[in-house]
Amino acid sequence: MELVPIGTHLYACLQPDRGLGWSNSGFIAAGGGLVVDTLYDQKLTAQMADLYAEVHPETPTRVVNTHHNGDHCWGNKIFEEAEIIAHTGCAERFDEFTPAQAASMAAMESPPPHLADIAEAFRDFHFDDVELVPPNRVIDGDLQLDLGGLEVEILYVGPAHTAGDLIVSVPDQGVVFAGDVVFHLCTPIGWEGTHQAWVEALEAIEAMAPETVVAGHGPLCDTAGVRAMREYLEYVWEEASAHHAAGRTTSQACQSIDPGQYASWNEPWRLAYNVHRAYKELNGGAWDDSYHTGAAMADAALLREQWAK
């Protein structure tokens, strides 16, 4: 991982691997120190904390969890003395999927085919010693902070990628820490939320015209990177809608959609998750209904195999 200065008192901690669970974090070295997202396990988060200590020796007093996926909050234990801020939608789902479950998937000797990829990806992390430390300041909307004279806006933009999506904006410096509302050069996966709400969240970030965006996954980007992500979601939605209207099954839609220019993004076969999520909505599912992730995983595994040929 790498600590990258992105403004006055502002840093990104970037993990070069764009695969599952390799998330980014942000740091504001002012007003006591504010960490935007911890990492997938305590070992990685301790490494990250060491990097932050190089620019801010005192223990940070605040953490923001942008959402409840483990790769953004399972390292909270490292900062357990801090005020840990998250949205209600994050707090309510905090232990929906646990480190113990992830550890048992990683330990599967012969996982079923649709879980093979995820089991392998999980083996890179240390879930056995992760102790969940939930947020202790739960917010329902936006929150403004003054960090030693630096204006920081914590904005609720969900339900887009998940129910509890927060972004952290430093408007005076044109910096947005976007969590998984933005994936850059890697294919997004969404959980709760709707395509439209996700598109609106991205449009809201585009309207801020940030110069630097710290994506949840992938390298740094700017407004153009946010636009590219929105266009991807719009493309998938239009394609999925057309196949749905033509009476095709979810699997048929996955097989038929051309990844086009997005084939070069990391793990393009994640398209299947986005198609399943779109079909859930097209079939009248509510934003907080879950889609059939097992079927999405199976379709993603099939696309991966086919596109490798």
The reply on whether position 25 binds Zn ion by CB under 5 A is: no
Q: Which of 37, 71, 239, 299 binds Zn ion (CB under 5 A)?
A: 71
Q: By C-beta, is 162 or 194 nearer to Zn ion?
A: 162
Q: By C-beta, is 69 or 187 nearer to Zn ion?
A: 69
Single out the segment in contact with Zn ion by CB under 5 A; choices: 64-72, 107-115, 244-252, 259-267.
64-72
Q: Which of 216, 218, 225, 268 binds Zn ion (CB under 5 A)?
A: 216
Q: By C-beta, is 33 or 188 nearer to Zn ion?
A: 188
- Name the minimum Å distance from CB 261 to Zn ion: 23
The reply on whether position 180 binds Zn ion by CB under 5 A is: yes
Single out the segment in contact with Zn ion by CB under 5 A; choices: 27-35, 152-160, 190-198, 209-217.
209-217
The reply on whether position 23 binds Zn ion by CB under 5 A is: yes
Total residues at interface with Zn ion (CB under 5 A): 5
The string of DSSP letters for the chain reads -EEEEEETTEEEEE-S--STT---EEEE-STT-EEE---SSHHHHHHHHHHHHHH--SPPSEEE-SSSSGGGTTTGGGGTTSEEEEEHHHHTTTTSS-HHHHHHHHT-SS--GGGHHHHHHHTTS--TT------SEEESS-EEEEETTEEEEEEE--SSSSTT-EEEEEGGGTEEEEEEEEE-SB-----SS-HHHHHHHHHHHHHH--SEEEEEESS-B-HHHHHHHHHHHHHHHHHHHHHHHTT--HHHHHHH---GGGGGSBSGGGHHHHHHHHHHHHTT--TTS---HHHHHHHHHHHHHHHT-
Q: By C-beta, is 67 or 195 nearer to Zn ion?
A: 67
Question: Which chain residues interact with Zn ion by CB under 5 A?
Answer: 23, 69, 71, 180, 216
